[in-house]
A = this chain, B = another copy of it.
Amino acid sequence: MSFLGDKYLISTEIGFAIFEKIKDLPIIDPHNHADVKEIADNQNYSDVWQLFAATDHYVWEMMRKRGVPEDYITGERTPKEKWLKLASVFPEFAGNPVYEWVHLDLRRYLNIRITLGPDTGLDIWRKANKSLAEASRRPRQLLDKIGVEVMCSTDDPIDMLEEHEAINKDAGRKLIRPTWRPDKAMKIANPGWRKYMKQVAKRFKSELNDIDELIAAMQDSHDYFAGCGCVASDHGVEVPLSGDADKKAADAAFKKAMDGKKLNPAEIEDFMSYFLGEVAEMNAEKNWVCQIHMGAVRDIRDRLFNTIGPDSGGDVASPNLEYLDPLKKFLNRFDDRLKVILYCLDASHQHLLATVARAFGNKVSLGSAWWLNDTPIGMRRQLEYIGSVDLLYNFAGMVSDSRKLLSYGSRFEMFRRVLSDVLGDMVTRGQMPYQVAEKLAVRVSYESPKELFGF
């Protein structure tokens, strides 16, 4: 019953037995937002704020919630001032997973078992920084400590991926793989799109005179990524895209946007839908996994977006998005010839997506509870539900989705504990034999993602 003790998140003996079997399995993290350069450079972290909070908008949002001025979050204050401010409000985060993740990270990777709060902030600042100065706490060493067997970063089609190569060469194995995420090319209505197109044109030596040339450049990039060990794409969409738009309409929208003219919603849809359909074809051909992240309505708080920019907070889930029609069209187009993972943000869409994954059979999997659902209760509700409609055996497994290296450890530990607890409950209630549950736990924690992504 102790805070983050052995039985953390596990309520049955059987659940604990299951956890014992999976807790030390290597970590497969098929989707994160790693700072690849940080890993390649492999320098010691300057301080505990840098490693624990500087890149983590989950932490930022909780600080704002407790009234901490932005200056101490993303602003000009020193890392030490920021850390101490974080410490001063940290006990008020209790109940939110940030409270658990930070304490897990302090314990598991820095051997600091003190609880963070106003009285201990300075002490932890000193102890943590001392620890972080050791050679064993550099990024690559931490990845080993965490037990990462393979992880996938999220990368732009124009990236050259040299750092991935350097890391893997040094590691002597495919430790880090890129993920091909062409959102910047697809999101034709974004302010920076034309500028980005110029970069695409330069990178792939194309005039980009029409949509065929854009798709050809994307094909070049897709092939290049494949050569660098990429096995998956990723696509972030508020509402799914049908992938069945007319090419002529998409081409007209493309040319209009290239001319700097504003597109109407139907034109945006035409372009994006056609684009996704074409790049999904590339995935199908190479047997890549096509990951679709749905339902995040981003940057709704103007003040944050206007002063700090994207990925800083202010993102929400919405239950009122119409997923089914476009998803149906997309999945029918690629039926049984494309591996798809559906990640869903709003919990009220969980039911829909589980039934869709069931309906489309073997190649369509549910992804792990995403972002605002990546919490003990969010994961529990999802795991309870997935198996009852779809199959846990087909679940794509955990991803950290994190911008913070340490998260690969604490988030996977949280997931494995919740999974063990859910399966332990099912065995305790007589819903499956113990041996079956144990195999299922190993499958979901390790084998499934390895098989699905072909690592």
Flag if A332 contacts B301 (CB, 8 Å): yes
Which of A61-69, A142-150, A224-232 lies on the face that meets chain B? A61-69
Measured CB to CB, the closest approach of chain B to A306, in angstroms, equals 10
Bound-state CA distance A375–B428 (Å) is 17
- Complex Cα spacing A68 to B376, Å: 34
A289 to chain B, nearest CB (A): 16
Q: A393 within 8 Å of B by Cβ?
A: yes
Contact B317 A355, beta carbon cutoff 8 Å: yes
Bound-state CA distance A131–B385 (Å) is 35
- Interface residues in A43-99 (C-beta closer than 8 Å to B): 61-62, 64-67, 91-97, 99
Least Cβ distance of A419 to chain B in Å?
11
Q: Is A303 an interface residue (CB 8 A)?
A: yes
Which single member of B328, B351, B433 contacts A347 (CB below 8 Å)?
B351
Interface flag for A318 (CB, 8 Å): yes
Quickly give the copy total for this chain: 3
Determine if A349 and B319 form an interchain contact, defined as CB atoms under 8 angstroms apart: yes
Chain B nearest CB from A95 CB (Å) reads 3
A206 within 8 A of B: no
Given A66-B391, A317-B351, A336-B303 in contact, is the A61-B358 Cβ separation under 8 Å?
yes
Nearest CB of chain B from residue A87's CB, rounded to whole Å? 14
- A426 interface hit (Cβ, 8 Å): yes
Q: Are B430 and A8 in contact (CB under 8 A)?
A: yes
Q: What DSSP secondary structure best describes chain A's contact surface?
A: helix
The total of chain A residues at the interface (CB under 8 A) is 92
Given contacts A67-B362, A436-B91, contact A384 B377 (CB under 8 A): yes
Nearest B residue to A336 via CB reads B303
Tell whether, in the assembled complex, residue A302 and residue B359 are in contact, meaning their CB atoms are under 8 Å apart: no
**Contact residues in B for A378 (Cβ distance below 8 Å):** 388
- The docked-state distance in angstroms from the alpha carbon of A62 to that of B314 is 39
A437 interface contact, C-beta 8 A: yes
A95 B391 Cβ-Cβ under 8 A: yes
What's the Cα separation between A381 and B387 when bound, in Å?
A: 15
Task: Please determine whether B317 and A320 come into contact, CB atoms closer than 8 angstroms.
Answer: no
A156 to B8, CA, bound (A): 51
A432 and B359 within 8 A (CB) = no
Question: Known interface pairs A302-B332, A335-B303. Does A96 touch B319 (Cβ–Cβ under 8 Å)?
Answer: no
Q: For the complex, what is the distance from the CA of A376 to the CA of B393, rounded to whole Å?
A: 18
Q: Least Cβ distance of A81 to chain B in Å?
A: 19
> Does any Cβ of B come within 8 Å of A398's Cβ?
no
Chain A contact residues, CB within 8 Å of chain B: 1-5, 7-11, 14, 61-62, 64-67, 91-97, 99-100, 115, 297, 300-303, 313-324, 328, 331-332, 335-336, 346-349, 351-352, 354-356, 358-362, 372, 375-378, 384-394, 423, 426-433, 436-437, 439-440
